[in-house]
Chain A
């Protein structure tokens, strides 16, 4: 068999294996993640009106969403022919599985070695954080990551196929603000080249200029209100303190080793060392710049920790290619040429033990998706409560209430353009945990809450509940199933609600 065909088939097999395993793990839980219900909401809005829902119809105080809509259009297209719940699981996994062939192609551009490229494709498929991303979560990052990788690939072929880079940059811009990380990487790349006294190619400058102007224009249009509200603090300014602390957590070396995987991290680091001190390569420098930006933005808490680690994973996986190539060349020159297949097998076994197995275990994470009992509670709320009844629930359940119960909640997990999110979350926590019925009722009256949800999401958020679970007179059980309770609010205070006071 021709070598190209053989490796083509192996790559296809690997891609299908990654996809199959992803779907297998994803279907260990019946429902897509809580966050995915926002995507379902948007796809349904697109089906109905042709446009995404930029105004939350079930928001307590009336709120506006700002986001790039391309990902939701893609899913709306798929949900024309497939059930929404299946599409929310299958499409993100297909998109993430495309990282495997893209990583192969990038590695091939870097090394011209098919064997090495196939190993890198394996790393891309099973690097722990890459494997768990988009596994059960229909969010924009599952499209943004392959597009980002495609952009890197197109940049490697920039001189030959410039249009591909322009298209990839445009697609990434229209999908996710993650494009700004790539733009920062361009700046870091140019600085590295200047420091190394290497020429900056005009084509690269032009591609960066195009990407920058497009991203600036699209960001100003898409996030106009948010920019005017938060200014430079748009990344962190919109998040409540508690959420910010959780999302932009401490960047630790151990966390990075776990997220990236030991093998790609070691090989990638070797490549970085070699390109910095021995043999300079523009291509490696661009990847290094991308990694540097991800690292710095993670440290500076400008990018959510998980996103920064995902980007680092991609960078180290791709950087593993030159190191593997050098290793292979060195091995061929040594006396142990015959043992090379055993060496590769050993490397793969080590990778399986340190990355593949932890990735699969991490993928089967209970609690990222709603349970059937929560869905039943949503159905009850929709059918048995008056329209417009405000439901107190953990922010995680916010989109679920929007999409399935069609009832307003006081908080969800999208905090952009929310007035005083800290105060709202503080009230929410107080309502659930205060031992005083009067204090709880005061908060509930402020938001006109009629029902209180106590399900797995609320149990995960609160260790102990206060009066809402103890005072059956004021908060009688309106609905119960094995895992979820819905309490109704019977007591009222004469204090004016927020809406009335205004």
Chain B
């Protein structure tokens, strides 16, 4: 018997007959009730509940978003670790960032509040959620799409990580959203203020936003004017405040990166982009999203823009899945349930990650064992803000110092891998290192692969190293130089090159 040939060359169906419903194929203005009916799940009770709750949905979600931001902070308190999470928070709170940016001025203005300044981040998060809801009102036609978009904005890992820490992004996100809302609602003066302010804090985020506004909104002239005004702000920021450094680093929330993009949301956004390919606006938005996604590993500003854009596109997909007529009817509720499960799991995992983020109570206890002599501490770069802020000791190397090669970092690396005291001592003396902070991660492959490798051998076998703190996870060792060695005064990490050669720890809170 001849095989059944389904289509012969030249007679195949044309493109454009994919599964996606076209624009406007969803429910009309009748609201959520109609949607439920069209989706095939339209039970009377469900419709009434949806009708009653629909007007309140935004307010309820905003309230939920505020509470959501408090959850990881409260969990940290309950776990006996009430400190603000994240190394970047400490860099800004204690004036330790390499360059004082506009955000540091903002924090200085709030300094009377002390550690309660974290609540400012929570409030800014609420403001961002409100502005996002307002922006969604202008962008999305249907109420249920707006509700889903807001929901996905709130469960986005970036929302949690940005607004439970103290980073410039806490200002960048609401200001960027304000600029977008202003562009959408035709408030040109507001746009001309918000976009430059965004550029002052994060030139990359502002550039991405300006590109999106220019390409996606119809009112291009005011946007172009605001972008022109933003240019000097961006230049001033990059030249005088905080230079933008592009260090490629793929950060994924599902892989445990607290400030990472969500693969799930990005995946849903890409699917929406493919499904909406035939829609002109959808195509432009998708291409912009892909561009932001492609550059997101380079800089945090790009990552934040790509991250929140993924919420909007993913919401489009979820709404599309809910309203379309399925060929596989059994699959529809399962698919929607799976999306909900994925997002819930993502949210819970991320709350856990923020709750466990350093400084941990173990690290704080270990640092508390440091005598108040201001000796330089050799520590992993990621922990240096904590060493400087919580213990008041200068740290070597400082955060991000070793992202690009330098002589100091080469020396530190040589020190980690030498097992000869003759090689180690000149480096220890040159940088005046008195204490060494060794973590379990360093032993587990971050630096060493064996427990007798390099410096670990010396720690175990040289009498010049004495253990100060005995926590098995965070080891603290003190180095005593041989008698007669001319050591620099305590508190000075000497060195040769680089803008941060003098890590004196000035400004560190005791």
A: residues with CB less than 8 A from B are 110-113, 116, 158-159, 162-163, 165-166, 194, 196-203, 205-207, 209-210, 212-214, 216-217, 220-221, 224, 227-228, 231-232, 278-283, 321-322, 325-326, 328-329, 419-420, 422-423, 446, 495-496, 498, 501-502
Beta-carbon contact of B4 and A112 below 8 Å: yes
Beta-carbon contact of A422 and B449 below 8 Å: yes
Beta-carbon contact of A111 and B3 below 8 Å: yes
| B residues in contact with A420, CB < 8 Å | 444-445, 449-450
* Per-residue interface assignment for chain B, residues 228 to 260, with 1 indicating a CB less than 8 Å from any chain A CB and 0 otherwise: 000000000000000000000010101110000
Beta-carbon contact of A283 and B345 below 8 Å: no
Interface size class of B (residues with CB under 8 A): 35 or more
| A residues in contact with B445, CB < 8 Å | 419-420
Beta-carbon contact of B18 and A205 below 8 Å: yes
Beta-carbon contact of B267 and A216 below 8 Å: yes
- At the interface, is chain A mostly helix, strand, loop or mixed? helix
Beta-carbon contact of B15 and A194 below 8 Å: yes
Beta-carbon contact of A162 and B12 below 8 Å: no
Beta-carbon contact of A280 and B3 below 8 Å: no
Asked if B402 is at the interface of the complex by the 8 Å CB criterion, the answer is no
| B residues in contact with A228, CB < 8 Å | 255-256
| B residues in contact with A209, CB < 8 Å | 271, 321, 331, 335
| B residues in contact with A321, CB < 8 Å | 3
Bound form: Cα–Cα A384–B19 in Å: 67
Beta-carbon contact of B19 and A202 below 8 Å: yes
Given A203-B328, A216-B264, A280-B339 contact (CB < 8 Å)? no
B: residues with CB less than 8 A from A are 1-9, 12-15, 17-19, 250, 252, 254-256, 264, 267, 271, 321, 326-332, 334-335, 338-339, 341-342, 345-346, 349, 443-445, 449-452, 460, 472
Bound form: Cα–Cα A444–B251 in Å: 39
Pairs A–B under 8 Å by Cβ, sample size 23: A112-B3, A163-B330, A165-B328, A197-B12, A199-B12, A203-B327, A206-B326, A210-B331, A212-B267, A214-B338, A216-B267, A220-B342, A224-B349, A228-B255, A231-B255, A279-B5, A280-B5, A280-B9, A420-B450, A422-B449, A446-B451, A496-B460, A502-B443
Beta-carbon contact of B19 and A325 below 8 Å: no
Beta-carbon contact of A498 and B451 below 8 Å: yes
| B residues in contact with A280, CB < 8 Å | 5-9, 12
Given A166-B328, A207-B328, A502-B472, A279-B9 contact (CB < 8 Å)? yes
Beta-carbon contact of B328 and A206 below 8 Å: yes
Given A198-B7, A207-B328, A502-B451, A213-B338 contact (CB < 8 Å)? yes
Nearest residue, chain B, Cβ from A496: B460
Bound form: Cα–Cα A382–B54 in Å: 67
Contact of A281 among B3, B321, B460 (CB under 8 A): B3
| A residues in contact with B328, CB < 8 Å | 158, 162, 165-166, 203, 206-207, 210
Beta-carbon contact of B327 and A217 below 8 Å: no
Given A197-B15, A329-B1, A281-B7 contact (CB < 8 Å)? yes
Bound form: Cα–Cα A496–B339 in Å: 51
Beta-carbon contact of A200 and B19 below 8 Å: yes
10 smallest beta-carbon distances between A and B, as pairs: A228-B256, A202-B19, A199-B13, A213-B338, A203-B327, A162-B328, A231-B255, A205-B19, A113-B1, A423-B449
Bound form: Cα–Cα A224–B349 in Å: 9
Given A221-B345, A496-B460, A283-B18 contact (CB < 8 Å)? no
Given A199-B13, A280-B6, A159-B327 contact (CB < 8 Å)? yes
| B residues in contact with A501, CB < 8 Å | 451-452, 460
Bound form: Cα–Cα A202–B18 in Å: 7
Bound form: Cα–Cα A278–B338 in Å: 41
Bound form: Cα–Cα A197–B279 in Å: 19
| A residues in contact with B341, CB < 8 Å | 217
Distance to closest chain B CB from A284 (angstroms): 9
| B residues in contact with A116, CB < 8 Å | 1
Beta-carbon contact of B264 and A166 below 8 Å: no
Beta-carbon contact of B449 and A217 below 8 Å: no
Bound form: Cα–Cα A422–B252 in Å: 26
Beta-carbon contact of B342 and A166 below 8 Å: no
Beta-carbon contact of B6 and A282 below 8 Å: yes
| A residues in contact with B332, CB < 8 Å | 206
| B residues in contact with A111, CB < 8 Å | 1, 3-4
| A residues in contact with B2, CB < 8 Å | 325-326, 329
Distance to closest chain A CB from B22 (angstroms): 13
Distance to closest chain A CB from B444 (angstroms): 5
| B residues in contact with A214, CB < 8 Å | 334, 338
Nearest residue, chain A, Cβ from B321: A209
| A residues in contact with B8, CB < 8 Å | 279-280
Distance to closest chain B CB from A282 (angstroms): 5
Nearest residue, chain B, Cβ from A210: B331
Bound form: Cα–Cα A328–B1 in Å: 8
Beta-carbon contact of A206 and B460 below 8 Å: no
Beta-carbon contact of B13 and A210 below 8 Å: no
Beta-carbon contact of A162 and B9 below 8 Å: no
Distance to closest chain A CB from B4 (angstroms): 6
Bound form: Cα–Cα A116–B250 in Å: 50
